[in-house]
């Protein structure tokens, strides 16, 4: 019989949490057994946040030598875009190729937070192509160097 069942689960981390589990009796039992092997929501979120903080610190250290211009946009856009930019630049620096500094230079020419957010899901190659195209449209050099006029 299909039903929903509220169960008090003691997770692997030792914390107790109430879960509403839907399904047939066998599915509910299987899901309850599985939940006992996982961390509770609070521990999962805390671990995820710690992991993200560690990755952000690592990425920031990787690109510390780069002079990053201030991003333009709303406070919320700038915060999100800076996270995206740091992650992307660190990933570009980690790629096994000799033009990493030039590639990062191209990306650093873009100071629009919205642009970084809109292009966050592109592959590295497509991202660099879009960055170059954006700079050309804006009349900026795509060499990664800001012109004196800009």
The 10s digit of each residue's pLDDT in 30-49 is 999 999 999 999 999 999 99
Q: Is 60 helix (H, G, I), strand (E, B) or coil?
A: helix
pLDDT digits (tens, 9 = 90+) for 89-118: 999 888 887 688 888 889 999 999 999 999
Question: Looking at the structure, do residues 86 and 19 belong to the same domain, yes or no?
Answer: no
pLDDT at 147: 35
In terms of residue numbers, what domain contains 51? Answer: 44-137
Domain total in the chain: 2
Same domain, 96 and 35: no
| Within-domain flag for 50 | yes
Q: Side-chain half-sphere of 2: how many Cα atoms within 13 Å?
A: 1
Which of 57, 3, 48, 51 is closest to 25 using CA atoms? 3
Q: 84 in a domain, yes or no?
A: yes
Report the percent of the chain where pLDDT is more than 70: 92
- Examine the domain organization and report whether 32 and 52 are in the same domain: no
- Please tell me whether residues 62 and 131 are part of one structural domain: yes
- Reduce the secondary structure of 26-46 to three states and give it as a string: HHHHHHHHHHHCCCCHHHHHH
pLDDT at 99: 81
- Structure confidence by residue, pLDDT tens digits, 60-95: 998 998 889 999 999 999 999 999 999 999 998 888
What is the distance between the alpha carbons of residues 113 and 47, in angstroms, rounded to a whole number?
Answer: 28
Taking the C-alpha atoms of residue 2 and residue 50, their distance in angstroms, rounded to an integer, is: 38
β-strand partners of 36: none
């Amino acid at each position: 019989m299909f039903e929903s069942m509220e169960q008090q689960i003691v997770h692997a981390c030792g914390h107790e949490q109430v879960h509403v589990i839907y399904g047939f009796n066998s599915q509910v039992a299987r899901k309850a057994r599985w939940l006992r092997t996982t961390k509770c929501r609070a521990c999962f979120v805390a671990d995820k946040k710690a992991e993200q903080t560690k990755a952000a610190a690592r990425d920031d250290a990787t690109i510390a030598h780069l002079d990053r211009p201030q991003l333009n946009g709303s406070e919320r856009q700038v915060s999100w875009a800076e996270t995206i930019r740091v992650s992307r630049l660190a990933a570009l620096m980690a790629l096994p190729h000799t033009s990493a500094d030039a590639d990062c230079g191209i990306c650093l020419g873009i100071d629009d937070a919205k642009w970084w957010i809109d292009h966050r899901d592109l592959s590295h190659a497509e991202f660099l192509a879009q960055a170059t195209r954006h700079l050309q449209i804006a009349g900026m050099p795509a060499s990664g160097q800001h012109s004196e006029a800009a």
